[in-house]
């Protein structure tokens, strides 16, 4: 049997940053990881300039910079009008750049920096629960892990929350299809990040490094595009009416397409007697926001403070305050995300844009 203070379920960015911060505060903890989760697909997530002061405050800026593909200095957007806009980070303060991160490398560096104790399991994880909260987690029917506080950092899977039947609320049905392509540099675009909306959804293509682009298309199951996007050979016809996105496609290749959920969602509860959720498990953002990783970092930071207040100061309100903060952030996020979608009015009759228009009406502040 293992006994510790904090048990973190999941070793993505959120779980590992929490581990890093708990180590720095001398709070004993373990991470539970499921072996065989597979290699992380390189989405080449972009961190906006506004995320860099947060990393600096946590002493993690250098780690992120050293393990990123490159700096980003802006992006182009073809959204809501027939003009391509150039969004330049030059006027941002104090950082005039964002980062195109290499998540796999950052995860390895964080694991090393946190010196996290990791317990892996293969098949089953079950919790024993009493009125005072979670007592322990039993892994593969043999390893029992006891703790004073449990954390769900399993991303959109919300594995711990599912164990006590906490449902998720989906705010839209957005799904994504992504692949890596040989890099093509567009003659009309300065920045190597390009976002474009089209009748059946929207897409983002960005350079990972000197040889590869990553291309993601976002749509809904009810769209015509959805049926074909699983096969790369259909992308050319699906994107045929786009302004520049189609130019990034390369003929005679067969890249692997990775599909998944990309919608805005939140569990019904983010904390309980002795547990909390963070990162995507607490609130999952639409990738259009570019704030999923920032959310993972920020929630790990405020969760660390709440854990200290609960375990060291015996503050019984600590988790409730954490939950209130999460709810406030999510409401603000939802409102700005909805504004972005309603600013696109060119295809009011398309099933895709109708869904997002309706969603914004339902959740008007």
49: DSSP letter: G
Listed in sequence order, the residues at least 6 apart from 197 whose beta carbon sits closer than 8 Å to its beta carbon are: 78, 79, 80, 344, 346
**Residue 112: CB minimum distance to ligand FAD, A:** 16
- Number of Cβ within 10 Å of residue 126's Cβ equals 12
| Residue choice 6, 8, 30, 32 for contact with ligand FAD (CB under 6 A) | 32
Between 153 and 249, CB nearer to ligand FAD = 153
Residue 189 DSSP class = -
- List 11, 76, 191, 337, residue binding ligand FAD (CB under 6 A): 11
Helix (H, G, I), strand (E, B) or coil at 352: helix
Site for ligand FAD in 263-282 (CB under 6 A): 279-280
Instruction: Name the residue among 64, 14, 9, 3 with its Cα closest to residue 37.
Output: 9
Asked if the bond preceding 94 is cis, omega within 30° of 0, the reply is: yes
- Under the binding rule (CB under 6 A), the answer on residue 147 touching ligand FAD is no
Task: Using CB under 6 A, pick the residue from 6, 139, 296, 329 that binds ligand FAD.
Answer: 296
Do the Cβ atoms of 280 and 13 come closer than 8 Å?
Answer: no
**From 39-47, 72-80, 304-312, 341-349, span contacting ligand FAD (CB under 6 A):** 39-47
C-alpha distances in angstroms, 156 versus 12, 35, 166, 296? 11, 17, 13, 12
Among 19, 127, 136, 154, the residue binding ligand FAD under the rule CB under 6 A is 154
Distance of closest approach, residue 297 Cβ to ligand FAD, in angstroms:
9
- Coil vs helix vs strand at 322: helix
- Contact window for ligand FAD (CB under 6 A) among 61-69, 230-238, 285-293, 335-343: 285-293
CB of 107 to ligand FAD, least distance (A): 8
By CB under 6 A, the count of residues binding ligand FAD is 33
Identify which of residues 34 and 310 has a Cβ nearer to ligand FAD in the complex. Answer: 34
CA distance 130 to 26: 28
Q: Rule CB under 6 A: is residue 290 a binding residue for ligand FAD?
A: yes
């Amino acid at each position: 049997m293992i006994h510790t203070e904090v048990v973190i379920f999941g070793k993505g960015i959120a779980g590992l940053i929490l581990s890093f911060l708990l180590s720095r505060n001398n709070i004993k903890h373990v991470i539970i990881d499921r072996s065989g989760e597979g290699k992380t697909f390189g989405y080449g997530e972009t961190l906006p300039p506004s995320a860099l002061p947060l990393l600096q405050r946590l002493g993690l800026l250098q780690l992120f910079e050293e393990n990123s593909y490159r700096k980003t200095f802006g992006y182009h957007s073809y959204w809501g009008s027939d003009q391509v806009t150039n969004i330049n980070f030059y006027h941002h303060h104090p950082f005039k750049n964002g980062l195109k991160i290499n998540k796999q490398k950052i995860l390895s560096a964080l694991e090393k920096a946190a010196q996290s104790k990791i317990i892996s399991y293969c098949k089953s994880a079950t919790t024993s629960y009493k009125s005072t909260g979670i007592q322990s987690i039993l892994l593969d029917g043999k390893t029992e892990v006891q703790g004073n506080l449990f954390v769900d950092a399993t991303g959109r899977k919300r594995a711990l929350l599912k164990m006590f039947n906490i449902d998720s609320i989906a705010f839209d049905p957005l799904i994504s299809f992504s692949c890596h392509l040989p890099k093509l540099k567009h003659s009309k675009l300065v920045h190597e990040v390009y976002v474009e909306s089209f009748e059946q959804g929207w897409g983002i293509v960005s350079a990972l490094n000197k040889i590869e682009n990553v291309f993601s298309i976002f749509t809904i199951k009810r769209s015509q595009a959805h049926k074909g996007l699983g096969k790369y050979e259909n992308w050319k016809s699906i994107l045929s009416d786009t302004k520049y996105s189609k130019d990034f496609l390369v003929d005679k290749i067969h890249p692997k397409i990775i599909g998944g959920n990309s919608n805005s969602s939140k569990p019904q509860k983010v904390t309980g007697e002795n547990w909390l959720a963070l990162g995507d498990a607490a609130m999952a953002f639409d990738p259009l926001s570019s704030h999923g990783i920032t959310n993972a970092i920020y929630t790990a930071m405020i969760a660390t403070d709440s854990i200290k207040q609960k375990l060291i100061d015996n503050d019984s309100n600590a988790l409730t305050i954490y939950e209130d903060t999460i709810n406030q952030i999510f409401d603000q996020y939802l409102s700005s995300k909805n504004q972005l979608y309603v600013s696109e009015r060119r295809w009011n009759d398309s099933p895709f844009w109708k869904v997002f228009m309706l969603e914004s009406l339902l959740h008007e502040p």
